[in-house]
Structure 1
Amino acid sequence: MDCAAGRGGVLSRAWIYSTMSTNYNFQPATPKEIAFIKKRLGLTEEDTEFAVKKLREWLEMQPHLPNNIDDARIERMYINCKCSMERTKIGLDAYFSLKHRMPDLSMKRDPLGPDVEQTKNNIKMMVMPRLTKEGYRIIINTQLDPDPSSYVFATHAKMVLMELEIMMGEDYSLGDVYVIDLANATMGHVLRTDINCLRNSELLSRTAYCRRIKGVHFVNSPKTIDAVVKLVKSATSEKLHTRIHTHLPGSTTLFEHVAREYIPEELGGTAGPLEKFSYQLFNKAYDMRDWFLEQDNYISDETKRPPDSKLAQDIYGAAGSFKKLSVD
């Protein structure tokens, strides 16, 4: 359904909402998996409750930050930061403050917007429903439209970040592994990828959402792979560079890093067909539409930021410090 084409306007959007919002079969971490994650971090329920309480108290004392974030998100930030209070404080500040610098990625996030519908026609996105045995989430992008003329990287990145936002509210993991299928990628797609937008989306992922990137795998690598890898490395930390892998068409080297059971059949795995997973997590955004739009109201007031705030330097003066904090 293409909202941009204007088929019925409001009727079209209502139809999308009614049919897509109920089609949601993503599986958050099970109690057993949550226990595994907390055990890996040496975290008890008492530790968690105490940390969330102290972080909430800290947030309420920050004159420039709103207090409109639920305990579930604070808890998952704390877990994603490997139980570091200071890292989590930086994450909380960034969660509200980076909206000023990156509104195209973190504001006006309407799942029924024409930009979202256009991107859904151009690429298939999915977060695989099962955690790996290491406690990682597998995030896959595949079946890119070979015609780059309508590809907008900023919208694609915004939708990935919306998925991270959903997971921060209701999921647990120890990190993310990205699998990016470049079978249809051309130099035209590379040229339409804004390096500043790529850098900002990485910064948001690894600070505002405190995600840990455990691997990036480019599969079906085309002739343009050198340009793609160069672009990605220019926008990411050196530590992440060692976690970037390329896999030639027809190769099985991906499965040296990720078991087949977590990968769709079309990419050589055994998890099932792509259509079973495509946009299943993102469909949750339709139920959360009002919530996503409301979040534009909750943004830092930089006129009230304490002049001696160390976090101001971390966020605005040394973006690299975020990378050092989050890639581990």
Structure 2
Amino acid sequence: MEVKALILPKQSAIDQMYSELGTSEAKIAIDLKILKEWMRKQPHLPNPDDGEKTVDEKRIKMFLILCKNSMEKTKVKLDQHYTVKPSAPEYFSKWDPTLPELIQSMKLSLFVPLPNPTHEGHRVVLYSARTTEDVDKFVYNDFIKLCFMTYDLRIAQLDACKTDIYILDLNNFTMNHVTTFLLNVKKAVECTFEAYPMRIHEIHMVNVKSFIQPLMNIVISLMKKKISNRIFNHNSIEELKNYIGPSILPLNYGGSYPKTSDEVIDEWYDELTKHREWLIAQESIVADKSKRPKNCNTNLDSFGTATEGSFRKLEVD
């Protein structure tokens, strides 16, 4: 199914992804039943049968796919996802895209999935500062909140992708941006990898200025080595096109997709507002730490979330 803002990969790409993961639609349907039954048995997690606080089945499916079809990892990541959210209200509360501060943030910065997937089924996501003006009005927490809203809506409602490819266009980045990011980036990166089963295929940086390098060094240090090895620094947009096909890139990036990045972000904002009620509801669909069993076989990190390997596979008749 195609939606206005995102076009899904072709069925052949999805079939190839399932083949690589050793699964199928039929197998995933069975696994979803097992995972939902497991959630019902966790008193601290949202109940997938709760009509008022519905846990999206598509989210569970995408978590399973992005966890490479590992039931153990999916359980861990679902537990982390619902536990991290109330631990970082500056990022995960007030998900109303019509709030003035979020509208302002979208005018100043851009974090948007591009409509066309790659031939292999990857989703390309573009980040840039939209202007060098009004930089003093840039609020880091509002920007990160929009990033999480965007990713959450994608995986729980709209997208089906193999992994993500990120383009970081730093042309309009200023020292003010760098200073703001340096003060806050560590928690945002940690929340990202705790709350979501991020699979990053590649990161492409363009228009990198020398004063940005200290920030990039910190971000890279927070990533696993296998991800940091997939970061490419390009001297020009033309060089970027050697990695990402022109049918994916907007017009102002030398692509043949018939819209500019500003038009793409405007359409994505329409998608956010169309899902306004759903986004607002996500604030209450979280874990209740007070109900976590004291004898639960989990290892907890600084966010109070479970670490990998702490669950045993659930057997369901």
Asked if residue 60 in structure 1 is aligned to residue 40 in structure 2, the reply is: yes
Residue type matched to 2:211 in 1? T
Trace 1:1-328 onto structure 2 (pairs within 5 A). Answer: 24-67=4-47, 68-147=54-133, 148-168=135-155, 169-196=157-184, 198-248=185-235, 250=236, 252-274=238-260, 275-313=262-300, 316=303
Q: How far has the Cα of 1:258 moved from its partner?
A: 2.1
1:203–1:94: structure 2 CA closer, same or farther, 3 Å change rule? same
Note the alpha carbon deviations across 1:230-266, whole angstroms, 9 max, x for none: 2312433333221222222x36332333223322232
- Give 4+ residue runs of structure 1 displaced > 4 Å after superposition: 317-322
Contact 1:206 1:212 in 2 (8 A): no
Pairwise CA distance, 1:120: 1.5
Comparing 199-208 with 67-76, greater Cα deviation is found at 199-208
Shift of 1:216: 1.7
Cα distance in 2 for partners of 1:94, 1:267 equals: 37
**In the TM superposition, what is the alpha-carbon distance from 1:49 to its structure 2 partner?**
1.0
Pick which of 53-62 and 148-157 moved more.
Answer: 148-157
Which has the larger displacement, 102-111 or 266-275? 266-275
Unaligned stretches of 5+ residues in structure 1:
1-22, 323-328
Q: What secondary structure, in the 3-state scheme, does the structure 1 residue paired with 2:45 have?
A: coil
Q: By how many angstroms is 1:111 displaced? A: 0.5
Supply the distance in 2 between the matched residues of 1:315 and 1:60 (Cα, whole angstroms): 25
Indicate the percent of aligned positions where both proteins have the same amino acid. Answer: 27
**CA offset at residue 78 of structure 1?**
0.5
From the two aligned structures, give the one with the greater helix fraction: 1
Aligned mates of 2:206, 2:298 — CA distance in 1: 38
**1: CA distance, partners of 2:256 / 2:279:** 34
1:203, distance to aligned residue in structure 2 (A)? 3.6
CA, structure 1 residues 272+143, in 2 after alignment: closer, same or farther (shift >3 Å)?
farther
Q: Secondary structure at the match of 1:193?
A: helix
The change in CA–CA distance for 1:174 and 1:220 in structure 2 (over 3 A counts) is same
Deviation at 1:163, TM superposition (A): 1.4
Instruction: Summarize deviations over 1:56-113 as a string: whole Å, max 9, x none.
Output: 0110000111123121111111111110001111121122100122111112111001
Partners of 1:319 and 1:231 in 2: CA distance: 25
SS in 1 for 2:300: helix
Q: Which amino acid aligns with 1:149?
A: D
Shift of 1:178: 0.9
Aligned length: 298
Q: Does structure 1 conserve the Cα–Cα contact (< 8 Å) formed by 2:8 and 2:161?
A: no
**In 1: Cα distance, 2:302 partner to 2:79 partner:** 8
Counterpart-to-counterpart distance in 2, 1:176 and 1:305? 32
Q: CA deviation at 1:172?
A: 0.9
What TM-score, normalized to structure 1?
0.82
Q: Using structure 2 for the length normalisation, give the TM-score.
A: 0.85
User: Given the superposition, is the C-alpha separation of residues 117 and 289 from structure 1 closer, same or farther in structure 2, using an over 3 Å criterion?
Assistant: same
Gaps of 5+ in 2: 48-53, 310-317
One-letter amino acid of the counterpart of residue 129, structure 1: P
Within 2, Cα distance between the matches of 1:300 and 1:101?
10
Aligned equivalents of 2:63 and 2:305: distance in 1? Answer: 21
Indicate if the aligned counterparts of 1:178 and 1:216 stay in contact, CA closer than 8 A: yes
